[in-house]
Amino acid sequence: MRTVVAKFGGTSLADAGQFKKIRDIVARDPDRRYLVASAPGKRFAEDIKVTDLLIKCYEDAAAGRSFSEDLALVESRYREILQGLDLTFPLAEEMAVLAEHLAGNPQKAYVESRGEYLNSRILAEYLGFTFVDPEWCVCFGADGKLDLPMTRRAMGAALRPLKNAVIAGFYGADSEGNIHTFSRGGSDVTGSLAACAIQADLYENWTDVSGLLAADPRIIHEPKTVEYLSYRELRTLSYMGASVLHTDAVLPASDLGIPINIRNTNDPENPGTMIVRKLPKDQKKYPIVGVAGQKGMSVIQVEKVMVSDGSGFSAIMLDILKERQLPFEYCLTGIDSITLVIRSDILATCREELFTEIRDELHPDFLGVKENLSLIAVVGEKGTEASDANVRVLQALTREGIEISTINQGAGKLNLLIGTPEENYEDAIRAIYATMEMDD
């Protein structure tokens, strides 16, 4: 028997109808033994997530304002779910505990975690599974950082003896019993931790889309779904803005090589996207799996004759960045120049001082900056194994008259990074995406 951890996101648990879909999904595969649940999400576009209502309650309570209206909305969300499922559950008592906490000295993490706590208890009740409170097995240090080794041990010990369980996502606690949450969307992380703790065969992440899209749907009409991709490819695409899974959810699963399957609760037959360590050999006809990017970039150009003559010119540049703890996208050293791509909002915080330091330390022949650029990552592990793909991308951009301001491909060949003026961004994505469709 395999062991599958299945995490269900907020839209998958937004109302009683969605709970019923989950019951069917779980019934279809008895390997789905451990479930991780989010708080109820949006039922329609203008709806408010329960987590957002709870945060509002906390803010009002902390500011001495009345929170009862929003708390009543939270209660009504759960009441509707319970009625729709015909379940008995001590909701009034639970809400009274929360109201009392809010009226005292409210703790933000505790309040916002109650969405997952209540939803998971209800799901466990509905399915006849054991409820596992992450307060006892997702371990944070007093500094608010997750203690991964301790969490693995505690979660493993909590889950292994149980045939089935529902674990609340998004939060845990420190040794003093103080609740801590992950950043928003963090139930994905809980799911990955659970999969890791019990060394699951598969981590399923059930959401409201049928997998990772190969490009931004706001730019490409109905882009294709990526069938298979590697952890590394996923990380690069999500870093550049593609969102389907919390970035911190990748590491625990990828450490153990546990495959992650993104699935759609509203279309359970769809196989979704499979994220794995090693791609199946015959999987892809075209080596590029996806394209993603971001606007708001700047390129700093530092020129000096014979930058790379061994006198440590680039090391000094990197030292300056390190001293200032400045994150940057990439830094390229050429024969007579260094090119640094950095987010414009970060540069804006220190531009004058940074330039003065570069001038004082490096005495460049030229120092300039180009702003309003976008950075596009064309991602695919097989990158230049088929360098033909890169040629096609560059040809397509040239054909469309798109300026290529910078270009970078490391020897790792995971991605090709292209800098282009912001006004060309959407056209560039369209041109690149078209090359990905050529072989379909």
Closest separation between CB of residue 85 and ligand ASP, Å? 20
CA-closest candidate to residue 193, choices 245, 163, 161, 153: 153
The smaller minimum CB distance to ligand ASP, of residues 65 and 184, is found at: 184
Q: Which residues lie near ligand ASP (CB under 6 A)?
A: 9-10, 38-39, 49, 51, 115, 169-170, 184-187
Q: Which residues sit opposite 34 in a β-bridge?
A: 5, 165
For residue 49, give both structure tokens.
Answer: 């997530």
Contact at 8 Å (CB) between 350 and 324?
yes
What minimum distance in Å lies between the beta carbon of 119 and ligand ASP? Answer: 9
Q: How far is the CB of 199 from ligand ASP (least distance, A)?
A: 23
Least distance in Å: CB of 168 to ligand ASP?
Answer: 10
Q: Percent helix, strand, coil in the chain (nearest 5)?
A: 40, 20, 35
C-beta closer to ligand ASP: residue 184 or 399: 184
Between residues 185 and 287, which has the closer beta carbon with respect to ligand ASP? Answer: 185
Cβ 41 to ligand ASP, closest distance in Å? 7
- Of the pair 262, 362, the CB lying nearest ligand ASP is at 262
- Rounded least distance, CB 226 to ligand ASP, Å: 22
d(Cα 121, Cα 101) in Å, to the nearest integer?
Answer: 19
DSSP β-bridge partners for residue 202: 4
146 φ, ψ (degrees, to nearest 5): -65, 135
Which residue in the shown chain puts its C-beta closest to ligand ASP?
Answer: 187
Residue-by-residue DSSP string for 281-302? TTS-SSS--EEEEEEEEEEEEE
Give the strand pairing for 415-421 and 406-408.
Answer: antiparallel
Q: Could you give the residue ranges of the DSSP H alpha helices within 142-186?
A: 148-159
Judged by CB, which is closer to ligand ASP: 179, or 300?
Answer: 179
